[in-house]
Amino acid sequence: MEKFYITTPIFYVNDKPHLGTAFTVIIADVLARWHRLKKEKVFFLTGTDEHGEKIEKAAKSAGKSTKEFVDSVVLQFKKAWEKLDISYDKFIRTTDPKHEEAVIRFVKLLWNNGDIYKGEYIGWYCVPDETFIADSEVKDEKCPNCGRPVERIKEEAYFFRLSRYKDRLLGFYEKNPDFVIPDFRGKEVINRVKAGLNDLDITRISTTWGIGFPFDKKHTIYVWLDALTNYISALDWPGGEKFDEFWPADLHIVGKDINWFHSVVWPAFLMSAGVSIPKSILVHGWWTVSGAKMSKSLKNIVDPSELTKTYSADGIRYFLLKEKSIWEDGDFSESALASAINGELVSGLGNLVARVTTIAEKFKGDIKGNDEIDEYMYKVCGFDLSSLIKKVDDCLCKTYRTDIALKDIMSAVGCLNKYITDKEPWKLASAELGNVLYNVLEPLRIISIILRSFLPETADSIFSQIGVEPQDLEKAKMEQHFTGKVKRGKNLFRLVEISV
Ligand code: ME8
């Protein structure tokens, strides 16, 4: 059985989750569900990054103890992911004692390898990004990544010899051309590595909210070294069975803001510790609001939990996955979300299910087929069902174009709606009607299997309305008989008002 280990970044708990963070988690969820549908052994990891100066400051300004504060925000993450139907296998917290122990062991390996030395950091630091910034990159005392003010710091620090890994990293990228996806993000990284690597400050003395540095108790371990280790500590590294089973990760999904840490810093740490390197880093674009990155610190966030009060989880999942290619940035607007729901979901999929279940519920004859639907679909949409499955598989396992996959699925839905309209089933005699119903219900059963990864609640509702148990991809083939007992249920989606 193939295995598939997929991770999201672990999110800072300085504030509640937002639609941008939800986007990453939803992509990971769709891929995890797809691999489960393919009967692979999946481990889907998400969690929270809870140490560091920014969290300590956020707790202080909320008037709470840091631990009390992080516990309350973690709860909000868990609730939001539950509302969005996120099927993670493990939720890791960097304040878990087992994670903290693993980080200390990991740091000792870097130390024993001679990669850590003591020095002094004099330079810029962006607290919201928890990132050290080179002098040459700072303009007007602003962070080049997020645009927020940076702080000048001068402190004793321990450094990791990142510069030592330049050639090994370049050799690794050459041997593994699919390491960073998409390609243009890989090129960005390679060009920066070629330009030279500075050693990286890996301890802080300005915050005590972190894991103690084992070789000097005045220092805490830099949040990024702490955080990246979550991908192996979650598998009970070292020595855990899960680690042997699932490492190396198949896919780390990250936003473009943290590509550098995952494609350069993380592999260098792993090389130093003698641990193998993940297979791929999938780098996605941002959701923006009026052109600015949606971000906790910029206070322009859209709260996914609030959105689920008006729109269904599947409506939100659908919109985020289909509105843009995952590489691009996209501007979020509630009116675009509402029109996607009212269009493809209410008038398309919802309407199809309502129409066919209304007719089929009353039909007493045999629902069996002649497979003319395959040819019809080919003529009307340009592909049949088996090529649809293949295309979706390519989109979810090779190109990561969830937008194209959903467009194709909705085009198949459109075909079936057109088929019903063309056939005018209300005018047909029993045998012919049984055939037409087969030609809609069987493809709908198959489409529902595919939809289980994108819109899990909707897929379950369709299965229940067509009287079939939820099935995996191995059942996604037309059979000659449709054996479900159809019972029209409530509408899949609600029409929403569009505000302009
Ligand atoms: O960077 N659009 O945590 P973080 C799309 N703790 N995705 C967005 C987004 C937006 N507007 N805003 C955030 C950290 N994201 C570290 C990670 S991992 C070892 C440590 C997503 O809470 C995107 O995936 O700032 C981004 O990389 C991640 O949230 C960062 O979340």
Res. 245 pLDDT band, cuts 50 70 90 = very high
Q: Which amino acid is at 350?
A: G
Res. 382 pLDDT band, cuts 50 70 90 = confident
Res. 383 pLDDT band, cuts 50 70 90 = confident
Element (H, E) at 20: helix 19-37
**Could you tell me the distance, in angstroms and rounded to a whole number, from the CA of residue 70 to the centre of ligand 1?**
17
Assign domain 333-475 to a CATH class: mainly alpha
Of 54, 45, 473, the residue nearest 295 (C-alpha): 54
Q: Where in the chain is the domain with CATH 1.10.730.10?
A: 333-475
Phi-psi bin for 424: left (phi > 0), alpha (psi -120 to 50), beta?
left
pLDDT for position 295: 78
Predicted structure pTM score: 0.96
CATH number of 3-307: 3.40.50.620
CA distance 285 to 325: 9
Q: Which of 76, 126, 257 to mutate to test the pocket of ligand 1 (most atoms within 8 A of CB)?
A: 257
Phi, psi (degrees; rounded to nearest 5) at 184:
-65, -30
- At 329-368, the pLDDT tens digits run 999 999 999 999 999 999 999 999 999 999 999 999 999 9
Q: What rounded mean pLDDT belongs to the chain?
A: 95
- At 316-326, the pLDDT tens digits run 999 999 999 99
- At 138-177, the pLDDT tens digits run 999 999 888 889 999 999 999 999 999 999 999 999 999 9
- At 339-350, the pLDDT tens digits run 999 999 999 999
Q: Where in the chain is the domain with CATH 3.40.50.620?
A: 3-307
pLDDT for position 134: 87
CA distance 282 to 325: 13
Sign of CA dihedral 132, 134, 137, 138: positive
- At 252-264, the pLDDT tens digits run 999 999 999 999 9
CA distance 443 to 380: 14
**Could you tell me the distance, in angstroms and rounded to a whole number, from the CA of residue 221 to the centre of ligand 1?**
20
498 pLDDT above the threshold of 90? no
Q: Which atom of ligand 1 is nearest to the CA of 227?
A: 19
Q: Give the mean model confidence (pLDDT) for residues 411-436.
A: 94
297 pLDDT above the threshold of 90? no
pLDDT for position 500: 59
pLDDT for position 182: 97
Q: How distant is the alpha carbon of residue 290 from its chain centre?
A: 23
Q: Which of 74, 258, 266, 400 to mutate to test the pocket of ligand 1 (most atoms within 8 A of CB)?
A: 258
Burial 69-78 (b: 16+ CB within 10 A, else e): bbeebbeebb
